């Protein structure tokens, strides 16, 4: 027997799933809506008659509001004869159900916001039918959300920072905290030609990229390894600038070294017509925006371990011409006293890494199969400085 609480919890779950909201939005009639009740069997009625009677009384006390009904049916029991028992609770309409749950004002607000939204943008009708939860979730924000939508309709791809948008009553924090719903709305409202569909996620400034806003660019830190190159920068050799400005530099240099380690970048020796870029980590792919670097010889310097070679393989998928630097077996064996152990959780065990050279793959295989010792690792910053200098001297003969 479903208790009064059982019935209420069942209706609450249906309400929270937005079943009634979606049915209303899609014109699917569900009323009168019934919750079926299980019939007590002969044994229950005989031995627990007082409980059954109390159950019926509880139902009568609870479902007395207008447009709510208890549906009865006559049953013939062997021991108790003919009995009229509840078989369902019926809600005549959405109002009776909403009032029963104490959600009537919430429902009225839901309907009001829906009409408000589609009156402003009829094109949103279909997407709202599939997302009734959004109407409720942003109940306190719809006037502002619609103001933002109107602005983008009249000023598509504004080309400024969110802070600069001139929308009455709307601040930066509001848009920042409502990007998800705004993306859903703007995707429907704006013409396809005004949306950059290459950026579908919100991470990494995806919203700004999708709808033509400015955003904080990733920064590139690099050092000019040749003092003669610094004349164009008032003698400054250590610089950090946004990637879009770095892409416009078109420096005339022969070589570019890329290393993850900050200390390596800061201590890298002077070399004619060369720069070192450092501190990018996995963000190295952003360098693709700087087409001019493809005219230089590129070198990547990472740790000698399975993880380091996996990164190198990934880097080479962006820059096929890039050379590995100090990631060879000679360097590894020369620095035996500096060997450490690679963390198990960072190790790679792929059979092959797609973008390694033959010699790199051979060294990777030895590391992977514990040729010297379990999970061997030589961190880039532990390579002696004199070894770096020695190898740089031979660079012209062995690029």
Angle, CA of 303, 275 and 214, to the nearest 5°? 90
User: How much is the pLDDT for 100?
Assistant: 92
Q: Are 211 and 193 in contact (CB under 8 A)?
A: no
Give how far Cα 164 sits from Cα of 14, 167, 172, 211, 214, Å. Answer: 43, 9, 8, 14, 10
114 and 76 in one domain?
no
* pLDDT higher than 80, residue 45: no
Looking at 52, 71, 101, the residue that finishes a domain is 101
User: How much is the pLDDT for 140?
Assistant: 93
Does 209 or 66 have the greater pLDDT score?
Answer: 209
What percentage of the chain has pLDDT greater than the value 70? 98
User: Residue 217 falls within a domain, yes or no?
Assistant: no
* pLDDT higher than 90, residue 369: no
389 and 280 in one domain?
yes
Residue range(s) defining the domain that contains residue 31: 4-101
- As a whole number of angstroms, the distance between CA 17 and CA 322 comes to 53
279 and 195 in one domain?
no
* pLDDT higher than 80, residue 399: no
Q: Region 95-113: what's the mean pLDDT?
A: 95
312 and 243 in one domain?
yes
What is the domain count for the chain?
3
Q: pLDDT of 321-358, one tens digit each?
A: 999 999 999 999 999 999 999 888 778 877 788 999 99
Out of 78-87, 142-151, 308-317, 387-396, least confident range: 78-87
195 and 248 in one domain?
no
133 and 265 in one domain?
no
Residue-wise DSSP of 362-382:
HHHHHHHTTSSSTTEEB-GGG
pLDDT band at residue 1, thresholds of 50, 70 and 90? confident
User: How much is the pLDDT for 396?
Assistant: 64
Enumerate residues 6+ apart whose C-beta is below 8 A from 228. 272
Looking at 79, 101, 123, the residue that finishes a domain is 101
Looking at 159, 190, 210, the residue that finishes a domain is 210
Q: HEC string of 186-235? A: HHHHCCHHHCCCCCCCCCCCHHHHHCCCCCCCCEEEEEECCHHHHHHHCC
User: How much is the pLDDT for 75?
Assistant: 84
251 and 386 in one domain?
yes
User: Residue 182 falls within a domain, yes or no?
Assistant: yes
Enumerate residues 6+ apart whose C-beta is below 8 A from 92. 31, 32, 67, 68, 69
User: How much is the pLDDT for 282?
Assistant: 64
275 and 202 in one domain?
no
User: Residue 345 falls within a domain, yes or no?
Assistant: yes
182 and 76 in one domain?
no
User: How much is the pLDDT for 323?
Assistant: 95
Mean pLDDT across the chain: 91
Out of 11-15, 182-186, 317-321, 367-371, least confident range: 367-371
185 and 307 in one domain?
no
158 and 113 in one domain?
yes
386 and 261 in one domain?
yes
pTM of the predicted model as reported, rounded to 2 decimal places: 0.71
Residue ranges in the chain assigned as alpha helix (H): 4-16, 19-25, 42-47, 49-62, 94-101, 104-120, 125-129, 132-137, 142-154, 172-177, 179-189, 206-210, 243-246, 262-267, 306-318, 329-334, 358-368, 385-393
User: Residue 227 falls within a domain, yes or no?
Assistant: no
What percentage of the chain has pLDDT greater than the value 90? 69
């Amino acid at each position: 027997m479903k208790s009064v609480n059982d019935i209420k919890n069942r209706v609450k779950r249906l309400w929270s799933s937005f079943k009634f909201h979606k049915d209303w939005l899609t014109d699917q009639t569900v009323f009168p809506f019934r919750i079926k009740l299980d019939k007590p069997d002969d044994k229950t009625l005989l031995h627990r008659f007082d409980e059954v009677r109390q159950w019926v009384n509880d139902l009568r006390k609870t479902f007395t509001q207008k447009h709510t009904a208890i549906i009865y049916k006559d049953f013939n029991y062997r021991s108790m004869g003919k009995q009229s028992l509840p078989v369902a609770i019926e809600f005549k309409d959405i109002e009776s159900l909403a009032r029963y749950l104490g959600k009537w004002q919430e429902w009225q607000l839901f309907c009001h916001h829906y009409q408000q939204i589609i009156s402003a943008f009829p094109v949103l009708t279909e997407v709202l039918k599939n997302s009734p939860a959004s109407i409720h979730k942003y109940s306190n924000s719809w006037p502002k959300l619609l103001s933002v939508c109107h602005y983008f309709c009249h000023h598509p791809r504004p080309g400024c920072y969110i802070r600069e948008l001139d929308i009455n009553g709307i601040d930066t924090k509001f848009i920042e905290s409502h990007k998800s719903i705004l993306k859903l709305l703007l995707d429907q409202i704006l013409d396809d030609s005004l949306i950059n569909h290459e950026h579908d996620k919100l991470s990494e400034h995806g919203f700004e990229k999708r709808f033509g806003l400015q955003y904080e660019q990733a920064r590139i830190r690099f050092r000019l390894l040749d003092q003669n190159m610094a004349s164009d920068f008032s003698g400054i050799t250590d610089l950090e600038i946004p990637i879009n400005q770095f892409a416009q530099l078109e420096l005339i240099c022969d070589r570019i070294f890329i290393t993850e380690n900050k200390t390596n970048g800061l201590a890298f020796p002077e070399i004619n017509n060369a720069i070192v870029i450092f501190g990018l980590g996995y963000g190295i792919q952003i360098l693709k925006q700087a087409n001019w670097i493809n005219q230089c010889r590129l070198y990547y310097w990472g740790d000698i371990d399975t993880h380091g070679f996996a990164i190198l393989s990934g880097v080479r998928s962006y820059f096929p011409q890039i050379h590995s630097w100090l990631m060879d077996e000679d360097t590894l064996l020369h620095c035996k006293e500096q060997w450490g152990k690679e963390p198990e959780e960072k190790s790679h065990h792929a059979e092959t890494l797609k973008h390694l050279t033959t010699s790199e793959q051979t060294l990777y295989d030895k590391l992977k199969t514990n040729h010297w010792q379990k999970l061997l690792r030589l961190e880039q910053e532990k390579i002696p400085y004199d070894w770096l200098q020695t190898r740089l001297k031979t660079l012209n003969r062995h690029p």
